[in-house]
Structures are given as C-alpha cells and as structure tokens.
Amino acid sequence: MVSIQTTRTLASFSLAAVMAAVSFSALAADVMVGGAPMLASKDIIDNAVNSKDHTTLVAAVKAAGLVDTLKGPGPFTVFAPTNAAFAALPAGTVDTLLKPENKGTLTTILTYHVVAGKVDAASLGKMIMDGKGMATLKTVSGGTLTAKASGGKVMVTDEKGGTANVTIADVYQSNGVIHVVDKVLLPK
C-alpha cells in the first residue's frame, strides 16, 4: 500500500520531471533566434523581423494583415514555425497561401499558432502536469492544440494529428512569449 506522503512525493517528482522537460529555454532574458537577439523589451513583430529563421512567417503575417494585432498589447503566446517548417509543406503551398485571394485561409492558419495570454514553459509544464500528461490550448482561431512533454521535449499536436517540437522555448516579448517550433501546425 502506498502512503499519502509517498503519493505526494511522487506527484512532486512528476511535476519536477515535467517542468524539467519544458524548461529547456535559456536562462538569459534575451534569447538568440535566427542569429539575432530577441529583446524582451520589443514586441513580437519587432523581434521576429530580425530572425533569419522566421522570414517566411513574417511575410505571412504581413500578407494576412496581422502585424498590428501582434504588435498590440496582448499578451500572446506564439508557436512560431521556422522557415524550414514552412519549406516542409507540400511544394507551392506557401506561395498559394500568400496570394491575396487566400488571405482568409492564411489568417486562420497563422492565428491557429497563437494562444491568448502568456503561456511560458513553466505554465505549460503545470498545465501538462495538471492534465495528467497533456494540455489542451485554445487558439485565437478557435481551434485547439495539444501539448505533451516527453524525453525532455515538448511536442505540440494540431487537429490534423501533425506534431511540432518546441525547439526554443520562452522567447519573452513585451507583449507575450514565443516558442519556436519545427513544423507548421494546421487546423481542421
């Protein structure tokens, strides 16, 4: 028979393990992303335009007309796909999405990567722990993302079953936080 104290100790250890899995961000206030420092004093857009790894994302945000929104007060949590993540989509997908006639679809995909509020690694770890290994996040587009921690990594799964790994967590901004991901997440 397991005592209550043993159960509490195991629960605390489990929470610590989850927190360690999601707390793989740098301890410095300003993190390097795409060869540029991401300054916590700047907003999401002002930082993203400096990252060589996020030029496609920035172009998509501009084409969707979301610049003013992501420069707003927020706070926002953005799961930011890299250029390589966009390049992994089927050939021609990005070019098609950037056309003016596809602005609605592009906006839906981009806002699917955004969660209202500031969900940093510690908060996400607690959500995963409280959810018994899984956290469901409501996106600005109205969809859901599912986060799990495994092997020291956080994975975010979209509604189509695609999974992105968080490669850089806790890139703090004046209006939220960015988590860099290696795949584009897609809504239903």
CATH number at residue 27: 2.30.180.10
Q: Give the chain's domain count.
A: 1
Whether residue 186 lies inside any domain: the answer is: no
Say whether 117 sits in a helix, a strand or coil.
coil
Chain-centroid distance of CA 32 in Å reads 16
| DSSP secondary structure, 81-111, as one string | E-HHHHHTSPTTHHHHHTSGGGHHHHHHHHH
Task: Provide the whole-model pTM.
Answer: 0.84
Residue-wise pLDDT tens for the chain (188 aa)? 444 444 443 444 344 444 444 444 333 456 888 777 788 889 899 889 988 999 999 999 999 999 999 999 989 999 999 999 999 999 999 999 999 999 999 999 999 999 999 999 999 999 999 999 999 999 999 999 999 998 889 999 999 999 999 999 999 999 999 999 999 999 99
Q: Which helix (H) or strand (E) holds 155?
A: strand 153-157
Question: Helix 4-22 to helix 121-130 angle, to the nearest 10 degrees?
Answer: 140
Chain-centroid distance of CA 16 in Å reads 21
Whether residue 32 lies inside any domain: the answer is: yes
Whether residue 187 lies inside any domain: the answer is: no
Q: Give the pLDDT score at 29.
A: 54
Whether residue 141 lies inside any domain: the answer is: yes
Q: Give the pLDDT score at 32.
A: 80
Using an 8 Å Cβ cutoff, are 166 and 137 in contact?
no
Chain-centroid distance of CA 129 in Å reads 18
Domain enclosing residue 60, as ranges? 4-181
- What is the identity of the amino acid at 70? L
Whether residue 81 lies inside any domain: the answer is: yes
Whether residue 73 lies inside any domain: the answer is: yes
Q: What is the pLDDT of residues 13-24, one digit of tens each?
A: 344 444 444 444
At 80, list the tokens. Answer: 């930011």
